[in-house]
Structure 1
Amino acid sequence: MKKKRLLLLILAGVFTLTLAPLHSIAAQSGEGLTPIQQLGKYIFFDTTLSKPVGQSCATCHDPGSAFADPEGGAVSQGALQSRVGERNSPSVSYAAFSPQMYFDPKTSPAIPDGQYKGGLFWDGRADTLEEQALQPFVNPLEMHNSDLKQVFLAVRQSDYANLFRQVFGQNSFEDLDYASACIGQAIAAYERSAEVNPFTSKFDYWKKGQATLTDTELRGYMLFTNTTMMGAKCANCHSVSANETVAPSLFTNFGHQNLGVPGNPELPFYFLQKPLNPAGTNYIDRGLGDFLRSIGVPEELAAKEDGRFKIPSLRNCAITAPYEHNGVFTTLREVVMFNNTRDVPGAGWPAPEVAENVHRHPSMDRTFGKLGLTDQQVDDIVAFLGTLTDGYQP
């Protein structure tokens, strides 16, 4: 499996392949969830699927927090109270739109060597929601099952087991591998539903002519989308659609980038004992680079991706603090100010966690890290980002 994926990733611009789905997923109706989506929702919220019991997918991906961690800590606590993850839990909302990881050879002054795009998790290591959904169950820092058989047995004994059989067949529990794949597919079906991806922000209603932005929100939008020397150029990486009715804006180009984000000295993962964190306080998260090493990409190629992480969607970002892969920033204003002044002498930002491959334009002013935005312009951008929160009532 690793050799197959390695070959496909090295071939620039070629997507990895997926098998046909185990069960056709009916289109989302306006009246609610389809049976497979409802099944996936039951599994997503089931707190008996961790060891010890008490943690569900929704524990770290709560709908009340746009399917991100409601606790707001730098990282999420695992089913075992003494364990934590090494990265900030990203929102599940809109993850369904991410393509499988591929290498885009297109170059630009900002991306001279091309760029990996797509995948799920901060390092892009899962190609599909089906694959991603199963990994937390057996992660020792998360839901802590020793294998998927424990999850399979709990689902088979659940109150929704009959619905599982209705969706996947009366004999669906007779084969562990098949049932496990079905569990992943059901969760993925729910994560593709309109309940998880509603597109109900003020921005969405504004684009449909059903809401009005305030002056500061509109100024922020203009700065956000302005990619000239006088703009904030946010849309270069957090893309805005040219036609919302055809393809709603997802506010990401799905790329991977090293922004020079500093390490988070308060990251509790640093203090986990061996073998959970052999490096202790010397731990460095190399992101995409280490994932590529894990699947056999040669060191000279993997090293070029050290420190790069998935560019997240900004939808709901106003309610999904903290920010960046390690949760080092606690407010949106702090994030925008970092983007604005990272390379300004005297700005006082700590050194990057991974100094190699930092995204910079050394010979150009008014670029990332030295955008030249005023305090008012920073506030305007933050105000616009607030319009991306779902649940707006026009």
Structure 2
Amino acid sequence: MALSIALLALAGCEGKSAATAATSTANPRQPALSLGAQVGQLAFFDKNLSGGRNMSCASCHDPQYAYGPPNSISVQLGSDTRQAGVRAVPSLRYRESTPAFDDDAPNPDGVTSNSPGGGFMADGRAATMAAQAALPLLNPLEMNNTSKDAVVKAVQSGAYAGLFKQAFGADVFDNTDKAFDALGTAIQALETEDLSFHPYSSKYDLYVFNKIGGTLTPAERRGEVLFHSTGVTNCSGCHYTGANFNGNSGLMTDFTYQALGAPRNDRSIPNNPDPIPANDDPKYFDMGLCGPYRTDHMPSTPQTANPYCGMFKVPVLRNVATRGAFFHNGVLHSLEQVVNFYNTRDTNPEYWYPADKDGTGTPQANPAWALQPTHVPGATVNKYNDLPPAQQGNIDEEVPLGTGEGGDKTLASGTQPRAPGSPPVMTPQQIADLVCFLGVLSDGYQPSAKPPTSGKCVN
């Protein structure tokens, strides 16, 4: 892993945290924060809440990067800088509308059948934002505290202990569990009340509400049409744009779970700058809803088929263009690469997965956006290599990944994969247009006095 780069990123983020804490709510629309949210704001930037006193929530969830990571590293280093995590860090924006996890959750579109949905973390194992906030604090690969007591003592000896007691009671520190839970409640209050966690300040927001500056360019408009096209990209099938259960719209998620077959982020990828260390163990698999971190849906063995295995939560797409690592394992590093993966995962699996050395002939160059730089014609490609074979029947084959037509009932969706060598569903122009549309979902958009006349997302 690129250890030195990660350390520099961590140090750089911490250097500006105090200033960011003072200005993160500098918004004329921002109501005064409650006492609990004020505690949460101070705690969010408090490095003393980590085992090494060198890492805060903001180290990985930087407000300057839509409360996501400030770099393109697949998985971040924890407070113990000798260890890296196992999942890519998500943005914390637009989380307040997420319902608690349910195995049989209704889909907000009101049409699609019930399925697993909701919850926090990539596997939904936290029921609330308060519960979610507690998990990194005790994770040895993240903030690396040895116990709840260590966290509570850090708060109690800190500069905002008095405010903490004002918010949660003079006797709050008398009970470690009570104080620890109150810390999670404070961070949830911050994420709920502070408008910087849900600013709705993108070009898309101006567009959908017909505000000045919200006119999409021809390329962005074509991308929007593609986003909603059920026969081409089918993006909105999972990244739902309508009103959710709490009345908010445009979150670009339906809170469900999908098994997409993202390539394993390991050393089988040539020149991989940051493979996940846990993946060095060939017996280790991160299977989302069925483990290893969520335990209530685990199969009896990795070789026992389980419909939950390989499923990860559909992310909010707002600010997706600001990210540098994609999918649960951070294996891809650009939007263009992600869309091309959807387009060619099954038609050209040799672009994404390692192959056995049984091909013949001269290695052929793959596109620049492929994970595998070359392929040998006829070689056996190890598709879906980040899941045990018994769990690969869960892989999603809806459009654009598959044909969306009947067929092989061993697949969870009841649909067929696209045949290797068949034409991908999207053209290069459509991919470019779709990426342009995804760019309008970024917050902080400032309309220019004159519309742009040149650039890849204009005409």
Relative to the length of structure 1, the TM-score reads: 0.83
1:357 counterpart residue number: 394
Whether 2:324 is the aligned partner of 1:271: answer: no
What secondary structure, in the 3-state scheme, does the structure 2 residue paired with 1:183 have? helix
1:181 counterpart residue number: 181
Using the alignment, how far apart are the partners of 2:45 and 2:282 within structure 1? 34
Matched letter for residue 322 of structure 2: I
Contact map agreement 1:285 1:307 (CA 8 A) in 2: yes
2:78 counterpart residue number: 78
Using the alignment, how far apart are the partners of 2:105 and 2:160 within structure 1? 46
Whether 2:392 is the aligned partner of 1:389: answer: no
Contact map agreement 2:200 2:443 (CA 8 A) in 1: yes
Whether 2:58 is the aligned partner of 1:58: answer: yes
| Aligned-pair CA distance for 1:268 | 5.2
1:280 counterpart residue number: 281
What secondary structure, in the 3-state scheme, does the structure 2 residue paired with 1:328 have? coil
Matched letter for residue 261 of structure 1: A
Identity of aligned residues (%): 37
Whether 2:16 is the aligned partner of 1:37: answer: no
Relative to the length of structure 2, the TM-score reads: 0.71
Alignment partner of 2:430 out of 371, 377, 385: 377
Contact map agreement 2:71 2:324 (CA 8 A) in 1: no
2:313 counterpart residue number: 310
Using the alignment, how far apart are the partners of 1:125 and 1:326 within structure 2? 17
Alignment partner of 1:222 out of 222, 225, 229: 225
Using the alignment, how far apart are the partners of 2:226 and 2:313 within structure 1? 23
Report 1:184-333 matches (<5 A): 184-193=184-193, 194-210=195-211, 211-227=214-230, 229=231, 231-241=232-242, 246-265=247-266, 266=272, 270-271=276-277, 280-290=281-291, 294-295=295-296, 299=300, 303-333=306-336
Using the alignment, how far apart are the partners of 2:157 and 2:305 within structure 1? 44
Report 1:97-246 matches (<5 A): 97-104=97-104, 115-193=115-193, 194-210=195-211, 211-227=214-230, 229=231, 231-241=232-242, 246=247
Q: Which has the larger radius of gyration?
A: 2
2:370 counterpart residue number: none
| Aligned-pair CA distance for 1:226 | 2.1
Using the alignment, how far apart are the partners of 2:284 and 2:264 within structure 1? 10
Structure 1 unpaired stretches of 5+: 1-27
Structure 2 unpaired stretches of 5+: 1-27, 267-271, 354-382, 406-414, 448-459
Matched letter for residue 249 of structure 2: P
| Aligned-pair CA distance for 1:368 | 8.3
Aligned pairs, number: 357
| Aligned-pair CA distance for 1:283 | 2.3
Contact map agreement 2:297 2:308 (CA 8 A) in 1: no
Using the alignment, how far apart are the partners of 1:147 and 1:209 within structure 2? 51
RMSD of the TM alignment (CA)?
3.0
Higher RCO (CA < 8 A, seq sep 6+): 1
Distance 1:206 1:297, change over 3 A: same
Using the alignment, how far apart are the partners of 2:180 and 2:87 within structure 1? 25
Using the alignment, how far apart are the partners of 2:285 and 2:167 within structure 1? 44
Structure 1's consecutive aligned runs of 4 or more residues displaced over 6 angstroms after TM superposition are 365-370
Using the alignment, how far apart are the partners of 1:220 and 1:202 within structure 2? 14
